[in-house]
Structure 1
Amino acid sequence: MPTFLTEDPAAADRFGLSGAAVAGGLVFAGGMALDLDTFARLPGTATVSAETQVVLDQIREVVEGAGGALSGVLKATCYVSAAEHIPEMLAAFDDYFSGGPLPIRSVAVAGLAGACRVEIDVIASAG
């Protein structure tokens, strides 16, 4: 039976967002550097690289909170708001995971909420 983890009850109520789900020894988590009240990017996200770092920090916190580790991230789906953001996002992603194996990754250009340029979701081992 899956367990849904809600970090922000207001976001869950307003947007149906959960922080993560844990099932079958896996953690399913996602992140975006977006203030859900204003739909502006969070502070410290002036560049796509910095935004990617903030998103991955959020994901790491959720995965670790569910008993996993960054090294247990198996698959990442990365969304960017424009194709020109792909190289910078990929460089920041690769740098974030340096020192360990890179997760399997796919990238898509998509319409993202508000001023969000990067959104990532992952599947990680829970332990």
Structure 2
Amino acid sequence: MPAARKYGFPIRAIIDRYCADNIPQVPARFGGSIGRSCFVIAMIHPLDLPSPLQWCWLEWPNSRENSLEVLMRKVIATDRAPKPIAQLSQATVCNGIVYMAGVSSRDPKTAKVIGDTIEFQVEQTMQNVKAILEAAGSSMENVLRVECFLESREHFPALNAAFLKYFPKDPPARAVLMVPFFGLEGMLFEVIVTAAVDQA
């Protein structure tokens, strides 16, 4: 963790304190074991990372003589979906979870919002979501949660129809918010998706 070392954070002192052999059992899904794994919140200078906080999973599988294994985030970028128009990523992956930025019906080639109807925009948005998920090693079947933003309550039928098409079985959790206007002209719909990465 170069940024932490750069600013002199006592990582070993943190490890020595919180990775003692008497700490509680770490959940198996994190690959932990008693006294050998821990969560550490490293304070990072804002100039080094977009966020001043960075969560890291530190695992010490055998002994304190072994090196630390740090799981860092992975940035996802694909030409099959519209590129961001601001300083952000299409999606990031950390610890097997895909965190997607807001996705709309922007055309992957022109980056412009396309479609005059809510039905068209929802369909194009789902295609963009699918492309980003596949680039991240995930799929529509692995979607955990979808946050939807609609311009009108009258657009619910189109949204529900899309969920029946793309999530026919065991649909993800969903939240829907009404917004008076979007940041881009002509936009009627936007989603934020969280999904799990496919298991190898």
Q: Please indicate the TM-score interval, normalised by the length of the shorter structure.
A: 0.7 to 0.9
2:154 to 84, 101, 105: 84
C-alpha contact (below 8 Å) 2:98/2:197 kept by paired residues: yes
C-alpha contact (below 8 Å) 1:76/1:104 kept by paired residues: yes
Report runs of 4+ in structure 1 exceeding 3 Å deviation: none
Count of matched residue pairs:
122
Aligned CA RMSD, in angstroms, stands at: 2.5
Counting only pairs closer than 5 Å after superposition, residues 34-73 of structure 1 correspond to structure 2 as 34=106, 41-42=113-114, 45-73=115-143
Q: Which runs of 5+ in 1 are unaligned?
A: none
Residue type matched to 2:197 in 1?
A
C-alpha contact (below 8 Å) 1:5/1:21 kept by paired residues: yes
What's the counterpart of residue 105 of structure 2?
A: 33
1:3 to 50, 55, 74: 74
Higher helix proportion (structure 1 or 2): 1
Post-superposition shift, 1:35?
5.4
C-alpha contact (below 8 Å) 2:78/2:131 kept by paired residues: no
What's the counterpart of residue 176 of structure 2?
A: 107
CA 1:81–1:60 in 2, change beyond 3 Å: closer, same or farther? same
* TM-score when normalising by structure 2: 0.54
Please tell me whether residue 22 in structure 1 is matched to residue 93 in structure 2: yes
Post-superposition shift, 1:86?
2.2
* TM-score when normalising by structure 1: 0.81
Post-superposition shift, 1:34?
2.7
